[in-house]
Structure 1
Amino acid sequence: MMSRPPFDNALYLPGKEMNIGIILFHAYTGTTRDVNLLARKLNRQGYTILVPLFSGHDTNDIKNVLKYSPKIWQEEAHAAYHWMVEQDFDHLLLFGLSMGGVMATDIMAEPDFSGSGGGVFNSPIVTEQLTDISDSFMNLGGLLAKLRKESEQFQAEYSDILKGHWKQMEELETIKKSIEERLVNIKTPFYIAQSGEDELINPEDAYLLQNHLVNARIDFHYFPDNTHTIPTNRDRDEFDQSVLDFVQQVCHPY
């Protein structure tokens, strides 16, 4: 019997029949709930699902996110992948929302990647400009502070919190540049979902990623009326089905 993963607060859904494992990585400042609905839909197909929780996340204080470097999250993503590899699935796939997609792609771009494929949901892998989500980050920080009844303290610390956020963004840019140089290594099927009404990243950047994946079979889906957090959007049915179809095609091509 498969052991439970040694990751704190991860969502883990063992599959009932098929020997297929799927890792879903959540977004920056997000939680496992980012992909919970998709995880459970995939699990109902018999797939084993692991959704790790990145350190500092699922918190009521945005400063807890700032306690960890994106390099730590990168290491946590790789640890989750290696643990799933040890479970000896016939097929292993990796997906991620936004920053989670950056982490999934980082793993898939390794020369020794042993999975069967994967992909990204609204992820800024290759971008023309520096990704700027500072307004969204600080708005979330202010909302959480209000819920804690600490709005005045948040305003007093606003500048330091914003600096901490930008430091993390710079570290993520370094990771992204490393990935961009290794995208030629990806030779497994690669799924891309991009929302046309994405309020955080430039939807056109998805085409830059597509152009860099010169050795991969790409399954590209553009959802013109959807928003950034597409796995929880109420109009997600078409997206969900496209992910299910991709997994089916990769794992059961005939």
Structure 2
Amino acid sequence: MNNQSLFYESGERAVLLFHAFTSTPRDVISLARALERANYTVYAPVFSGHGTSNLDDLFNYSIEDWIKDGEEALAFLKDKGYEEIAVFGLSLGGVVATHLLLNEEAAIGGGTFSAPVTTTYDHHVTENFLSWYKTVKRTKGYERDELAGLMSKAEIELKEMFANLKTFVSKMEEEYPTLDKKIFIGQGEKDELIEPDTARIFRESLSQAEVSIKLYEDGEHVITTGSVGKELQTHVLTFLSTLNWDGGDN
């Protein structure tokens, strides 16, 4: 287990949390702690290429790798004896969580936070990432010419990465009408990376699911932290209490 992963073994009910692109489980640590206090076992792994000192490590991986990470995380909890698992993810993590909800029987319910789970809108991750990437490389002492080359390569890598992600999501979209689990959708209305209307489109595509959607008026992209994160914790805990754990009604 990557030493940045979170694993809080508490109650008999398990929750899997996935972090956002470029980040680590620090995105979800507050939520994880709240769930632990409520007697849930929580596992939040680190996606491949994330949590390192070199941003370029991200370019060695793709959505297929992160989906595999998600499947392995679910298997980790199953190996620990948890047969029914709720799965949630922030942004990129929401794509992985949605895949598991569509394809894994053990994923009994869960959902997304600020996730690009439809192809209707383009996201704004590339430009935000490149600005951050440039700042980081400058602080490491790269000269202008060398930095320009790195930026060009990074832009090409990102475009390919997100084109693959969009193709993957488009295939998932075809399956949304078949999903009949309980789903939670959380979305900040001031999200600077994902078009907030994505949440509505996702909800409307889940024609057989029982959907709970929460829109956070002051929420930006990372709705798992700060005051909005506190609201989200309450809503997620309420949602979890409605799931059919052990195949029974709650």
TM value normalised by structure 2:
0.92
Determine whether 1:160 maps to 2:153.
yes
Hey, what does 2:181 align to over in structure 1?
A: 188
What is the CA-CA distance between 1:210 and the residue it aligns to? 0.2
Hey, what does 1:3 align to over in structure 2?
A: none
Hey, what does 2:5 align to over in structure 1?
A: 10
TM value normalised by structure 1:
0.90
For residues 154 and 34 of structure 1, do their structure 2 counterparts lie closer, same or farther at Cα, with a shift above 3 Å needed? farther
1:158-200: CA deviations, max 9, x gaps? 1111000111101111210121111123211100001100000
Hey, what does 2:195 align to over in structure 1?
A: 202
For residues 20 and 206 of structure 1, do their structure 2 counterparts lie closer, same or farther at Cα, with a shift above 3 Å needed? same
Hey, what does 2:126 align to over in structure 1?
A: 134
CA RMSD of aligned residues (A): 1.8
Task: Provide the rounded CA distance (Å) in 2 between the counterparts of 1:177 and 1:150.
Answer: 38
What is the CA-CA distance between 1:237 and the residue it aligns to? 1.7
What is the CA-CA distance between 1:154 and the residue it aligns to? 2.9
Contact 2:100 2:107 in 1 (8 A): no
Task: Provide the rounded CA distance (Å) in 1 between the counterparts of 2:227 and 2:193.
Answer: 18
Task: Provide the rounded CA distance (Å) in 2 between the counterparts of 1:151 and 1:145.
Answer: 9
Structure 1, unaligned stretches of length 5 or more? Answer: 1-5
Task: Provide the rounded CA distance (Å) in 2 between the counterparts of 1:228 and 1:135.
Answer: 15
Task: Give the alignment of 1:47-58 within 5 angstroms.
Answer: 47-58=40-51
User: In structure 2, what residue type is equivalent to 1:160?
Assistant: K
SS in 1 for 2:180: coil
Task: Give the alignment of 1:102-181 within 5 angstroms.
Answer: 102-110=95-103, 112-150=104-142, 152=144, 153-181=146-174
What is the CA-CA distance between 1:225 and the residue it aligns to? 1.4
SS in 2 for 1:163: helix
Residue-pair matches, total: 246
Task: Give the alignment of 1:231-250 within 5 angstroms.
Answer: 231-250=224-243
Task: Provide the rounded CA distance (Å) in 1 between the counterparts of 2:79 and 2:181.
Answer: 20
Determine whether 1:96 maps to 2:89.
yes
Structure 2, unaligned stretches of length 5 or more? Answer: none
Hey, what does 1:221 align to over in structure 2?
A: 214
Contact 1:127 1:208 in 2 (8 A): no
Task: Provide the rounded CA distance (Å) in 1 between the counterparts of 2:143 and 2:222.
Answer: 26
Task: Provide the rounded CA distance (Å) in 2 between the counterparts of 1:86 and 1:67.
Answer: 28
Seq. identity, %: 27
Task: Provide the rounded CA distance (Å) in 2 between the counterparts of 1:244 and 1:172.
Answer: 30
Task: Provide the rounded CA distance (Å) in 2 between the counterparts of 1:170 and 1:77.
Answer: 20
Task: Provide the rounded CA distance (Å) in 1 between the counterparts of 2:226 and 2:143.
Answer: 29
Task: Provide the rounded CA distance (Å) in 2 between the counterparts of 1:251 and 1:141.
Answer: 44
For residues 136 and 226 of structure 1, do their structure 2 counterparts lie closer, same or farther at Cα, with a shift above 3 Å needed? same
What is the CA-CA distance between 1:58 and the residue it aligns to? 1.4
Hey, what does 1:82 align to over in structure 2?
A: 75
Of stretches 209-218 and 84-93 in structure 1, the one that deviates more from structure 2 is 84-93
SS in 2 for 1:73: helix
